């Protein structure tokens, strides 16, 4: 179960971390679009606490860095190289760094490569008002392919000044469509409004993995 759990948590974090949107005022709403810049590299650190209530052992602490480099941009589609890891669990390295390549369009949809289908949060076609919501689907799985789709409802909570910069605050709730990998989660994503990159994210998930209940909380911070 541990390997499946780690694979799922890492996949969901990496896909979520790929979310970024330029926030542009349009009428009474805001247009969310990914703004990729060739040569740009973003770095994040993630911290995840994992608890298995049925087990007597204490919580597991998983740490790993993520870096994303935009290799090229053509017709609004970016070729992005993502490196996740090395991954440590309770201070011990359990997995070396791994790379993935994906092509992401301006609505944050992965059109080619790992995670093909949708990245962390597909953005709506039209401007969205504060307080309004949209839905997005994200395939999750291991090396053999997707095992579940995570359906998320995202809500634009606010566009405001925070820490000296303008940010968009997006809340989300999510669930899976699979009995094999049951998922229920919620969290908050903070995006920089000026350049569209992710400032940070907090996420809590209740999982059902191979018949066992698992709880996780994740924080992503910008390095």
pLDDT in tens, 138-147: 766 554 444 6
Q: Cα 152 vs. chain centroid, distance in angstroms?
A: 11
Tokens of 85: 């890891």
pLDDT at 196 over 80: no
- Report the pLDDT averaged over residues 162-169: 90
Is there a contact between 180 and 190 (Cβ–Cβ < 8 Å)?
A: no
Asked whether residue 10 carries a pLDDT value surpassing 60, the answer given is no
pTM attached to this predicted model: 0.82
Predicted local confidence at residue 49, as pLDDT: 93
- CA separation, residue 96 to residues 48, 84, 86, 90, 148 (Å): 17, 9, 4, 15, 25
Rounded to the nearest integer, the mean pLDDT of the chain is 81
- CB atoms < 10 A from the CB of 101, how many? 12
Give how far Cα 177 sits from Cα of 5, 7, 180, Å.
Answer: 17, 18, 9
Q: How many CA atoms lie within 13 Å of 134's alpha carbon, on the beta-carbon side?
A: 18
Q: Which two tokens stand for residue 68?
A: 């994303």
pLDDT of residue 118: 35
At residue 183, the pLDDT reads: 81
Residue of 142 and 34 predicted with greater confidence: 34
Q: Give the mean pLDDT of 146-174.
A: 87
pLDDT tens, 62-109?
999 988 899 999 988 999 998 888 999 999 999 899 888 888 888 877
Structural domains present in the chain: 2-222 (2.40.128)
Q: Is 178 left (phi over 0), alpha (psi -120 to 50) or beta?
A: beta
Alpha helices in the chain (DSSP H): 2-17
Query: Cα 2 from chain centroid?
Result: 21
């Amino acid at each position: 179960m541990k390997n499946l759990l780690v694979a799922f948590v890492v996949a969901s974090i990496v896909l979520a971390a790929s979310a970024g949107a330029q926030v542009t005022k349009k009428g009474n709403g805001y247009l969310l679009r990914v703004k990729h810049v060739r040569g740009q590299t973003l770095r994040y650190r993630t911290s995840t606490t994992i608890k298995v209530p049925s087990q007597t052992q204490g919580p597991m602490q998983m740490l790993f860095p993520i870096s994303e480099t935009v290799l090229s941009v053509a017709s609004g589609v970016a070729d992005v190289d993502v490196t996740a890891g090395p991954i440590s669990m309770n201070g011990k390295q359990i997995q070396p760094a791994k790379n993935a390549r994906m092509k992401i369009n301006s609505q944050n949809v992965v059109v080619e490569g790992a995670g093909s289908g949708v990245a962390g949060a597909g953005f709506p076609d039209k401007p969205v008002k504060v307080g309004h919501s949209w839905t997005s689907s994200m395939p999750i799985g291991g090396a053999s392919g997707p095992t579940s789709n995570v359906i998320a409802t995202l809500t634009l909570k606010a566009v405001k000044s925070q820490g000296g910069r303008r940010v968009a605050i997006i809340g989300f709730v999510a669930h899976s469509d699979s009995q094999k990998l049951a998922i229920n989660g919620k969290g908050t994503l903070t995006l920089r409004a000026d350049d569209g990159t992710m400032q940070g994210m907090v996420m809590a998930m209740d999982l059902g993995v191979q018949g066992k209940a698992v709880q996780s909380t994740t924080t992503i911070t910008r390095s």
